[in-house]
Amino acid sequence: MMEIVRTFDLPNIKLLAIKFDDEPLDASEVILSQWSSAEFLRVFFTNNHKDYFSAYGRSDLTRLVREALDLATALFEKLYEFGKNEDSYNSTSLFKPLDNREYDIAAYDLQKLKAKVEERQSYFRVYGIKYKESVIITGGAIKLIKEMRNRPHTNNELKKLELVKKFLEGDNGGLDLVYLDIK
């Protein structure tokens, strides 16, 4: 079962998140919890040091974790600003199409999207689905490689995007949509 919930306790419904039944936190809370944890980041970068080295070169682990905490904070500040902004989508929107071959931002309903900090080391990604006038966050990943399907943690995010998309299309395999009546 899935539930769609508001993020950041914002009054509008521009930015929402998916909450899977087996998780105590919604998708935005999960990545916020992980990416604001120095221990989580230390373990992640230790386990994925070859991918980081290939993409960005050598880095001291302590410095890398400190920089990652700063990048994560910057991304969540941008998410908050996006969510509280009442304007509709525009060309400077935080969310871009997941597929780099697509140029139109939020061009169609159920489009898969990504958000990141526009910096050289923008390896944090928040993933979501455009649904009507909202973006539903499905999860996030630290992306250190080009193809998402080549690592389990990023491939899992692709699977969640597809699962939520099918759910919103109505092909939910018996799942009940708990939310959709937000005012």
pLDDT tens string 152-163: 999 999 999 999
Residue 16 and residue 7: Cα distance in Å, rounded? 5
**1-5, 68-72, 109-113, 170-174: range with highest mean pLDDT:** 68-72
pLDDT tens string 73-108: 999 999 988 888 766 554 357 888 888 778 666 567
Q: What is the DSSP letter of 177?
A: B
The pLDDT of residue 73 is 95
Amino acid at position 132, single letter: K
**Domain spans, the chain:** 2-169
Q: Which helix (H) or strand (E) holds 157?
A: helix 152-169
pLDDT tens string 104-121: 665 678 999 999 987 666
pTM here is: 0.87
Phi, psi of 104 (to 5 degrees): -80, 125
The pLDDT of residue 165 is 93
